[in-house]
Amino acid sequence: MKFRLALCQMNQRVGDLAGNVARILEWRARAVEAGADLVLFPEMQVTGYPTEDLVLKPEFVRRAMAANEKLADATADGGPPIIFGSIYAEGGALYNGVLMAQNGGIVERRAKRELPNYGTFDELRVFTPGPMPEPVEWNGIRLGLPICEDIWQERVCAHLVDRGAEILLVMNGSPFELHKDDIRQKMVRERVKETGLPLVYLNRVGGQDELAFDGSSFVCNVGGSIPVQLPDWDEKMTLCDWEKGEDGWYCEPGEMAALDPYPEDVYHAMMTGLAEYVDGNGFPGVILGLSGGIDSALSAAVAVDALGAERVWCVMMPSDYTSSDSLEDARACAEMLGCRYDIIPIKPGTEAMEQMLEQPFHGTEPGLAEENIQSRLRMVTLMALSNRFGPMVLTTGNKSEMSVGYATLYGDMAGGYSVLKDAYKTTVFELSRWRNRVRPRLAKGPDGPVMPQRVITKPPTAELRHDQKDEDSLPPYKLLDRILEGLIEDEISVAATARRTGADEELVSQIEKLVLRAEYKRRQAPIGIKIGSRNFGRDRRYPITNHFRTGL
């Protein structure tokens, strides 16, 4: 007994019901030509994922269910049935579901049982948990159809095997995180070992706001071998041939794509998130301040690789404190990337502000206020260009700075999207060194280095006063980032972080205070792509007014 299964690792657009349906039908047609007997699509492929509060609109639910019926109508041609993810309403409840369409009708529906309610997910808020799902029978084969989170806990798969399932077909909307490939495959092997059933893990690709979906779909046979591995970040349809032997069903060896190693996976996540956000929201391109520093250089490189040099506009906005090295490095970076580059000095603006504030500032010492005026003038300049010509302003701050508030509200924090929002400064250095050696597989940017080596090696500085260095105000980034990982990623106490890092407990306590004090700034920052386990935003939701401390 044999059959051929088409795995459709696809992108999707949230809310674009007609477009998503059209693409499902296009891919089904391709699967028919390839001789598929059954076609599988990712979680919520009809609606896009995550839908968030769109599903609270009755009209959206009505149209989504009509889209489900349109897909079912298309199967009246006698071709292979399709199994796809969508929403459906029944008995006054709304479900994240999987539907099977065959011979012109929806023949089976199953609802997601384990609704995630942590980190980036809040499905329990908008969906009703389904009952324990029963297997679906097709051509004499009992298929288990758990959905994403259903396999991260044991009970749904255990129920399916108890009810006679022979193969587990799992559709997913699993976003990228560091080390996620290893985590997924380990978990899937555990389910396969527990159930004694082979498992198909089909994931979507693409970006949705601050989430990047890497695909990386695969099949795991009983025994833990992986006979089929789809690529990460690319849309792909793969045909899997299945045969039933004495010990049950198994998938024959097929495509085995190589997955991105670190840090290429992170870089591709940044590219994917930015490209999908810019294109999905109709911007012609991006504009950013190119300072001659590493953060703006890396942000520009990601933008060029994601969008192409013709859609990236870099602007150097020097002040009296901008060094000749920074001017040279910014120009060289733009030339290496091949993007538009302009110089707009902010001195006329700072002089005008000095005149405006001369009376209220009289008798006080120059300091932080004057530094922040420079940052805010630069953002006013970029926003004016954005308003006039249309490109979205890209901010260039990293997670280390955002963590401790080393950023200017309504200045360098203002913009539409932040590529480096979830990248610590040490990660920025790693990515920059790597990109100068390697051109990413999916990049639209140039071969060879994308920034001068001096950008990577010189001490980081905001250049808002003479001889300023980041380490005047902060510990060395190698130490700071380890402290921040303890306090933010792992949520451990000041004392535990001090023991782990070897840092002085008083220093760690000071960093904790900075992190908590900067929460009000982060609430007003643009979104940025998630790459770690605790990004600022959906993963970490702290009260702004908060009097709890773990330190001194």
Sign for the pseudo-dihedral over CA of 12, 18, 21, 25:
negative
Q: Is 112 a catalytic residue?
A: yes
Task: Give the SS3 label for residue 158.
Answer: helix
CB distance 110 to 98 below 8 Å = yes
Residue 401 annotated in ligand binding: yes
Measured CA to CA, the distance from residue 127 to residue 131 in angstroms comes to: 13
Residue 174 annotated in ligand binding: yes
In the set 8, 43, 108, 421, the catalytic residue is 43
Count the Cβ atoms, other than its own, within 10 Å of residue 490. 12
Residue 217 annotated in ligand binding: no
CB distance 151 to 157 below 8 Å = yes
215: tokens are 């695909």
H or E segment at 523? none
Residue 77 annotated in ligand binding: no
Buried b (16+ CB within 10 A) or exposed e, 401-438: bbbbbbbbbebbbbbbbbbbbbbbbbbbbbbbbebbee
Contacts of 432 (CB under 8 A, 6+ apart): 294, 297, 298, 301, 451, 455, 456
CB distance 51 to 97 below 8 Å = no
Residue 399 annotated in ligand binding: no
Residue 296 annotated in ligand binding: yes
Residue 372 annotated in ligand binding: yes
Alpha carbon distances (Å) from 522 to 425, 442, 475, 517, 550: 17, 31, 21, 10, 21
Residue 118 annotated in ligand binding: yes
Task: Give the SS3 label for residue 8.
Answer: strand
In the set 108, 112, 177, 276, the catalytic residue is 112
Which strands make up the sheet holding 136-138, listed edge to edge?
136-138, 141-144, 167-172, 199-203, 218-220, 228-229
Which strands make up the sheet holding 286-289, listed edge to edge?
340-343, 312-316, 286-289, 392-395, 417-418
Residues paired with residue 138 on neighbouring β-strands, in sequence order: 141
Measured CA to CA, the distance from residue 257 to residue 137 in angstroms comes to: 31
In the set 114, 123, 148, 240, the catalytic residue is 148
Pairing relationship of beta strands 211-214 and 218-220 according to DSSP bridges: unpaired
142: tokens are 């009992």
CB distance 501 to 479 below 8 Å = yes
Residue 533 annotated in ligand binding: no
Q: Is 43 a catalytic residue?
A: yes
CB distance 167 to 138 below 8 Å = no
Residue 290 annotated in ligand binding: yes
**Which stretches of 197-346 are DSSP H helices?**
264-280, 294-307, 324-337
The alpha carbons of the chain give a radius of gyration, in whole angstroms, of 26
Task: Give the SS3 label for residue 462.
Answer: coil
Measured CA to CA, the distance from residue 385 to residue 493 in angstroms comes to: 45
Q: Is 421 a catalytic residue?
A: no
Alpha carbon distances (Å) from 243 to 1, 3, 92, 157: 6, 7, 41, 21
Residue 223 annotated in ligand binding: no
Q: Is 292 exposed, middle or buried (0-12, 13-18, 19+ CB in 10 A)?
A: buried
Q: Is 84 exposed, middle or buried (0-12, 13-18, 19+ CB in 10 A)?
A: buried
Q: Which residues are annotated as a binding site for L-glutamine?
A: 118, 174, 180
Q: Which residues are annotated as a binding site?
A: 118, 174, 180, 289-296, 372, 396, 401, 521
Q: Could you list the active site residues? A: 43, 112, 148
Q: Which residues are annotated as a binding site for deamido-NAD(+)?
A: 372, 401, 521
